[in-house]
Chain A
Amino acid sequence: MTPTKGISPLLKISTILLMLYCIIAGFLLEVPKLEIIHESIRNMYYHVPMWFVMFVFSFAGVVYSLLYLLKGNREYDINAASCMLVATVFGVLGLVTGMIWATYTWGEPWSGDTKQTMTLVCLLIFLAYFVLRAAIDEEEKRAKLSAVYSIFAFSLIIPLLYIIPRQDPTSLHPGSEGNPAVSRDDADSRMLMVFYPAVIAWMLLSVWIVKLLNWYQRLRLRILEREAN
């Protein structure tokens, strides 16, 4: 299999175009002038989609783990690990962009906000997942144990992520009244014109990265098998 096979050119072209739009329009188009936030609202095009990516891809990783346990196909395990890696990287990026944003709007990079803490906990779990994977040499054993771990962890952090913070009235993040994301009523329509494409752009980029990671992993396994023979 060649490096580029399996990744459709359509995905690549649309990712590049949307990413360019997200960066150029994100920095140049007009945004509403508001107290405290000012121009930093542009971070919404980067910080929020990164958080979406972390959520969607960690969920995908758990689904792949579940499929692995049910079907026992090695492909699912490779996919699960790649999705988790992308979720971890974007989780770190989301945390860092959030901290930079918070420095200028909330006054300090870390203010003990519930969602900040929960994200940190999630990242710790993802990192533990990778330590577990790194500690086991046997392929099938690694796949099974890490799948069980990620499913168990995920089932426990659902309440942590989606019930506790949403109802926390002290959270500094917007949306503790029940609506976690942007709604049509309180976001400027000009901003949504950039925000939605930005979300799609980051998602597509992540899919691309996952495919590359899968491809790399398959090659590595093939080389290992050849050496073993």
Chain B
Amino acid sequence: MRLGKQIITLLRKEWLLERRRASTLSGLLLYVLSTVVLVYMASQAGKGIIDMVWITFYWVIMMFAAVNGVAKSFIQESNYRDAYYYTLISPQALILSKMLYNALLMILLSLLSLAVLSVLIPQDLGDWNLFIATVILGGVGLSFCFTLIAAIAARVGNSGTMMAILSFPIILPVLSVLISLSRIALVGLDDGNMWRNIQILLALDGIMLVMSYILYPFIWKEG
């Protein structure tokens, strides 16, 4: 299968670039870490951060990390390199590899920041398994949503601001489902909505995957 092969090659290329330019990944990690420390300092050693506030902080930190982390996936590519890609690969392979790579990156990043946050500001959750599952699903959701937006934003000038403006309203459906799942995990009791929420989240992930696959070819040659 040509598409699969192209995706694997592109994934390897992303990983290689990430390793060569170590500043991007470590910069992202430092960004998350300093935000967590900021929250810790601002809340008098985390005393005020309990229950829903803790969860809210976690998702806000994750959202900003995701915007910054995913935005670079298209912005860092130069126009000349884009022109080179057109001759080699299909647009679907390009967008799918970016989405996959960003998803892996976000899962890693969200688990790491969860670890840092819960060491600095310990929090008793009712159901840790569910929360970690939510975090993983959330990392996938955030990165899937932001990848296509990053592709759009990279083609407009001033893409940093554009990225935030375009992606924040769109991510709200995903985020509202994530928050209700986190609330269930916090209490530790399923109020009967757990599976429905997981289904909605998976459905949203599927929609984003399919829509990006269909829509990206329309814009990939727009300089």
Contact = CB atoms under 8 A, between A and B. Distances in A.
Contacts of B156: 132, 135-136, 145
Interface in B165-179: 165-166, 168-170, 172-174, 176
A142 B203 CA distance: 29
Interface string A119-157: 001001100100110011000010011011101110111
**Range, interface on chain B:** 20 to 34
Interface stretch (B26-34, B76-84, B99-107, B214-222): B214-222
A159 interface: yes
Given A141-B155, A148-B219, A160-B176, A128 B165 contact: yes
B70 interface: no
A4 B223 CA distance: 38
B170 A132 contact: no
Given A132-B152, A141-B155, A159-B203, A69 B173 contact: no
B57 to A, nearest CB: 20
Contacts of A159: 173, 200, 203-204, 207
Contacts of A144: 218-219, 222
- Name the prevailing secondary structure of the B interface residues: helix
B222 A145 contact: yes
Contact of A125 (B157, B169, B211, B218): B169
A125 B162 CA distance: 13
Given A148-B152, A148-B215, A156-B204, A132 B166 contact: yes
Interface string B133-171: 000000000000100110010011110001001101110
A17 B48 CA distance: 60
A145 B152 CA distance: 6
A148 B212 CA distance: 9
Given A135-B162, A156-B145, A164-B176, A125 B170 contact: yes
B166 A160 contact: no
A8 B148 CA distance: 41
A163 interface: yes
A128 B161 CA distance: 11
Nearest to B169: A124
Contacts of A163: 200
A156 B177 CA distance: 12
A155 B222 contact: no
A153 B167 CA distance: 9
B147 to A, nearest CB: 11
Interface in A146-180: 147-149, 151-153, 155-157, 159-160, 163-164
Contact of A145 (B155, B158, B168, B170): B155
23 contacts: A121-B172, A124-B169, A124-B172, A125-B170, A128-B165, A131-B162, A132-B156, A132-B165, A132-B166, A135-B157, A144-B218, A144-B219, A145-B219, A148-B215, A149-B149, A152-B170, A152-B208, A152-B212, A153-B170, A156-B208, A159-B173, A159-B200, A159-B207
Given A124-B169, A141-B155, A151-B215, 6 more contacts: A132-B162, A141-B223, A145-B155, A149-B152, A152-B170, A152-B208
